[in-house]
Amino acid sequence: RNSFVFHSLDKVTSIAIHVLPGLLTYLERWSEGGSVMCLPNDSKSCALGILGSIVEPTLFYLCWQILYIVQTEIIDRKRLSDNPSIQTSL
């Protein structure tokens, strides 16, 4: 069940993982006081273009996914197949 239960650590953690990246991106883009991630007197570091907002995170995710598949399907294949109680995201 999908629910927002404050006393469930799993539910609150899941909400934080899924909501906070979008919220941070929104706040960094639209905050009026300036970004906390900008370097002083460097307007180029504050620009959020297509490269920094889509390409770099996608490349990071692809690298993470490749490493995860290598770990679960090659390195730990025997251990995971011998113990069906261990679950992966695949």
55, two tokens: 């390409």
CB 57 within 8 A of CB 50: no
Q: Give the pLDDT of residue 60.
A: 94
Q: Distance between terminal CA atoms of the chain? A: 20
- Enumerate the H helices of 1-90 as residue ranges: 9-30, 50, 56-70, 77-82
Name the 3-class secondary structure at 52. Answer: helix
- pLDDT tens track of the chain, all 90 residues? 667 777 888 888 888 899 998 988 888 777 766 666 666 666 556 667 788 778 988 999 999 999 999 999 999 999 989 998 888 877
CA within 13 Å, CB half, 9: 0
> pTM of the predicted model, to two decimals?
0.54
Q: Which residues contact 38 (CB under 8 A, 6 or more apart)?
A: 45, 46
Q: Give the pLDDT of residue 88.
A: 82
